[in-house]
Structure 1
Amino acid sequence: MNLLLPILAVLIGFGISYFLHRKSTTINLLLAFSGSFLLSVTVLEFLPDIYNSGVSSIGVFILGGILLQIILEYLSGGAEHGHFHLSKEKKSFPFVLFISLSIHAFLEGIPLHGNAHLLYAVIVHKVPIAIIIASFLFNTNLSKLKIAVFLILFALMTPLGSFVQNNTSLLDEISIYLDAIVIGIFLHVSTTILFESSKDHKFNIYKFGIIVFGIVLALVL
């Protein structure tokens, strides 16, 4: 499941973007839900588990994950939390965007084995992000082939991270530190989604309600 479901989430997101009209209000609410659910699972389960590992420097790597995500978002333009712009005249393959998103996706796949709730949180997060990324790609002059290559490779990155972690010994000695880095990434992405200013800095009762729903769902699962 940790190999197939992330791929399915990306395909669903791209399919929604391709066949249906994107409604910004719906996407923003879905983003808010995914952010609150991801943050809640990270704080309630992932974070306590890693601190129970007894590694004294774990907090340093969590902070390192936050800094890494800031760098990745600079390269991607904020695609990881649903805010980026791609020139409509663009015809060449967006390598910088792809590399940034791939690093993010590969790393988030590493801790998924044996953590069903975290897997669900990543899946819920991937769907709206895939919709947004696809919407921008489809509005450029990129060929359908380049978009398809982007889609397929991006969809494979999270399962690849999970596969490498679970089926090889390459990351065994540093897996606890990579998990801490992923926590930092999740904290930054989810809080950015939740705490970015709403339009005209107005309180949005619908967004607040969906955030509370995401937190409650994480609590009861």
Structure 2
Amino acid sequence: MNYLLLFLAVALGYGVALFLKTKKIKQISLYLAFSGAFLLAITVFELLPEVFETPSKSIGIFIMVGILLQIFLEFFSKGAEHGHVHLHADTKDFPWLLFISLSIHALLEGFPISEENNLLIGVIVHKIPVAIILSFFFIKAGYSRIITVLFLFLFALMTPIGSFISENSVYIDTYHTEITAVVIGVFLHVSTTILFESSSNHKFDLSKMIAVVVAILLAYFL
């Protein structure tokens, strides 16, 4: 069921984009702020205490590795992980660099998901607006529907695959804490960037502040 929900989050984003065509949605930045705050809160409330059960400076190193890895991935994805696609689609070939960078990010997202935490909800909330914006990019750039659907289908598979590997690999289980720390770094970078970029002039208005506070409270009481 978890695998299906992760897949359907991307499918839902594509469906919303098709329904809205290429209309501007004011609410998308509000939902981005909510999703960023929710993901950040889940990371702080659930993943950080897990990796620091036995305090160690090496955990901090792995978190920093995750932050640096996400910065490196965004060199190729141009910020698609946090809802901004700045690519120039001069050709309509399959965008391999975007796909590979997003796939690595999505694969890592699946590793810490378990029944002991609420990360599944956080990742779903994060994926929907990203899928909407990715879909808008493909539609506006004039990509064929076949390439668009293929890209989103393969992208939608990555997080369930990551979760499956995590649950069934002894090697991943052995280094679960270290891998989770890397993912924490990825989430910290993505979620704080979403919060920073989802506000014009990097300032929060009242509606965004309310969205952020509600997201944090929901994550805490889950």
TM-score range, shorter chain: over 0.9
Query: Which residue pairs with 2:18 in the alignment?
Result: 18
Distance in 2 between the 1:170 and 1:113 partners? 17
1:180-218 deviation digits (Å, cap 9, x = unpaired): 000000011111111237324544111111001101111
The answer on whether the counterparts of 1:112 and 1:118 sit within 8 Å (CA) in structure 2 is yes
Distance in 1 between the 2:201 and 2:112 partners? 38
Distance in 2 between the 1:53 and 1:24 partners? 45
Distance in 2 between the 1:125 and 1:197 partners? 13
Query: Which residue pairs with 1:154 in the alignment?
Result: 155
Q: TM-score, normalised by structure 1?
A: 0.94
Aligned pairs (5 A) from 1:137-176: 137-176=138-177
Distance 1:203 1:171, change over 3 A: closer
Distance in 2 between the 1:71 and 1:178 partners? 17
1:60 Cα offset (Å): 0.3
The answer on whether the counterparts of 2:33 and 2:198 sit within 8 Å (CA) in structure 1 is no
Aligned pairs (5 A) from 1:47-196: 47-196=48-197
Distance in 2 between the 1:37 and 1:12 partners? 19
1:7-56 deviation digits (Å, cap 9, x = unpaired): 01000001100122443321111110011111111101110111104554
Distance in 2 between the 1:97 and 1:119 partners? 24
Distance 1:140 1:207, change over 3 A: same
Give the AA of the match of 2:118.
H
Identity of aligned residues (%): 53
The answer on whether the counterparts of 1:2 and 1:112 sit within 8 Å (CA) in structure 2 is no
The number of aligned residues is: 221
Give the AA of the match of 2:122.
A
1:137 Cα offset (Å): 0.8
Query: Which residue pairs with 1:32 in the alignment?
Result: 33
The answer on whether the counterparts of 2:29 and 2:198 sit within 8 Å (CA) in structure 1 is no
RMSD over aligned Cα atoms? 1.6
Q: Unpaired runs of 5+ in structure 2? A: none
1:88 Cα offset (Å): 4.5
Query: Which residue pairs with 1:43 in the alignment?
Result: 44
Q: TM-score, normalised by structure 2?
A: 0.94
SS at match of 1:57: helix
Distance in 2 between the 1:44 and 1:98 partners? 30
1:73-107 deviation digits (Å, cap 9, x = unpaired): 11100000011223354311000000000000000
1:3 aligns with 2:9: no
Give the AA of the match of 2:37.
S
